[in-house]
Copies of this chain bind each other. A is one copy, B any other.
């Protein structure tokens, strides 16, 4: 095997408590590069259709890319793949921090976990030695305490840990996987881990990542660094990270009152300049010069003394728009609470906003909420609602199912109030105000995920000059395909999704990095990369097709298609779902009627094995 990879997969069978090492397959490497490529191929090959997401046969694939653990910038993220209990389909989720690099240092490219342990355990990966250890004593602990106690047990505070909180143990459908407060948040990976009785994976590695051509690699890294420095977005993003609430409110597409308004009152409280005042320290991921993270602390008011790492834009929104108020303190306190309890902030905030709408409509009442008054503008119940969801107490039990399933169970019109696609709640962009954003949320194979094909062209005019009218349905098929495919090949790396969004990494530099690391010639060819990107998206789709997904699942709740944004800069707009899907499927070479890749497309992408 060449550089970049460690040439080792760890397979863990929790049912039989068996751990085996396995070499990387060279064909897999060539045909899928790594990261998201490996994830979808292995999940497609190894999971039978109809696998229970919380059952023994579901797998969790933890992986870091071929550039992780090197000095390339923003490439040391890790991804986790599994069949999602939220969507019932293929899922990928990822996180920055240090866990991904540590996986490589421990000599591994991937850890694949299946089975269910007979009692709570954690996996200890110690530089070539592996152990399934007791975690009964950790069960019930929050993520922060879990980190602390595992480090103490192992006698090494520098161990890197990914773990779940109480919400994952209880199968909350949007429980995430947390590593030092950074989250693989979406899709219920925490619930899958909890279902396996796997509290955490702790890693310590002292190895390094070999490179095929050190000099070429160094030159490519130098080029990448120079590119970052020359980019006009670099310093702003470095300082503010994702604090873009003002921009999205200014466009009138800040989802408010469960997507019934597009501007939240007093949004000025949530401006980047306000968060900057609370920023007490910058934070960073392994080998990333951007340092976009922050520790923020609030000094006064109801939430005085609260602090968090972040909050990111999505979280700022999740605890403001959905309940229609703008308390910066709450965004800080709620973010930390979600991190501690192991919850995805987007789906948590969205589920709470969903409950506020049901309360307004009388579908649920105080009798259902243990007396909490879920009235818009009243943010007081939010922290308690978060706790209820994490512990599945009272109304939290049904909300823990996600808004699609909760709507079904509650009925009486609640079915229409879950703002989700494929069971995954929408993030902080109203699709009616940015149609390429919307089309991505609509068609991404994991549900309404902004990171799979973020359309910065509509909001920031990057990464490439692309003539774009954010309200026009036309032309968005092509743009969405471009965004999704480029994201897909950059996620083989695994590059942080902020960098392409900011136009901070061109495909040619990526190609040179891959070539320098691995020595595999094809990886330097942009055409090859684009093909891999498209191939990944198509194979993801075929995973879902096998599970029964089709065009019917690429659909927004009717609110976004039939009701227009009532006022502000996005007023009057609705989402033209059918028209845009037709165009998108056509661009993709998929069957327009079913939204399924054609035989020809699959063959073109060397995915003949996926043809039914």
Contacts and interface: CB of A to CB of B under 8 A. Distances in A.
Interface of A: 136-137, 140-141, 144-145, 148-149, 151-153, 156-158, 166, 180, 280-281, 283, 295, 297, 299, 304-305, 307
B136 A280 contact: yes
A137 B299 contact: no
Given A149-B281, A152-B180, A180-B152, A307 B157 contact: no
A166 B281 CA distance: 19
Given A137-B280, A281-B137, A297-B137, A144 B148 contact: yes
Given A140-B299, A144-B144, 16 more contacts: A137-B280, A137-B281, A137-B295, A137-B297, A140-B297, A141-B297, A141-B305, A141-B307, A144-B148, A149-B295, A151-B157, A152-B180, A153-B281, A156-B158, A158-B158, A166-B305
Nearest to A166: B305
13 contacts: A136-B280, A137-B281, A137-B295, A140-B297, A140-B299, A140-B304, A144-B144, A149-B295, A151-B157, A152-B180, A156-B158, A157-B157, A166-B305
A157 B179 CA distance: 14
Contacts of A307: 141, 145
Contacts of A145: 307
A149 B299 CA distance: 17
A152 B147 CA distance: 13
Contacts of A281: 137, 149, 153
Nearest to A137: B280
A166 to B, nearest CB: 7
Contact of A140 (B136, B295, B305): B305
Contacts of A280: 136-137
A281 B149 CA distance: 10
A511 B123 CA distance: 45
A254 B239 CA distance: 58
Contacts of A295: 137, 149
A141 B309 CA distance: 13
A165 to B, nearest CB: 11
A149 B280 CA distance: 11
A295 B145 CA distance: 12
A140 B141 CA distance: 23
Contacts of A148: 144, 148
Nearest to A148: B144
Nearest to A145: B307
A595 to B, nearest CB: 45
Nearest to A141: B307
A373 to B, nearest CB: 21
Contacts of A304: 140
A547 B145 CA distance: 44
A137 to B, nearest CB: 3
Closest 7 CB pairs of A and B: A137-B280, A157-B157, A140-B305, A157-B158, A137-B281, A158-B158, A137-B297
A120 to B, nearest CB: 11
A138 to B, nearest CB: 8
Contacts of A180: 152
Nearest to A140: B305
Contact of A152 (B136, B283, B297, B305): B283
A229 B544 CA distance: 63
Contacts of A144: 144, 148
Nearest to A152: B283
Nearest to A279: B137
A304 B141 CA distance: 10
Contacts of A153: 281
Nearest to A278: B137
A283 B148 CA distance: 13
Contacts of A156: 158
A239 to B, nearest CB: 16
A277 to B, nearest CB: 12
A166 B304 CA distance: 12
Nearest to A304: B140
Nearest to A180: B152
A455 to B, nearest CB: 33
A295 B149 CA distance: 9
A305 to B, nearest CB: 5
A200 to B, nearest CB: 14
A569 B157 CA distance: 48
A166 B299 CA distance: 13
A548 to B, nearest CB: 39
A76 to B, nearest CB: 15
Contacts of A297: 137, 140-141
A148 B180 CA distance: 9
A158 B304 CA distance: 30
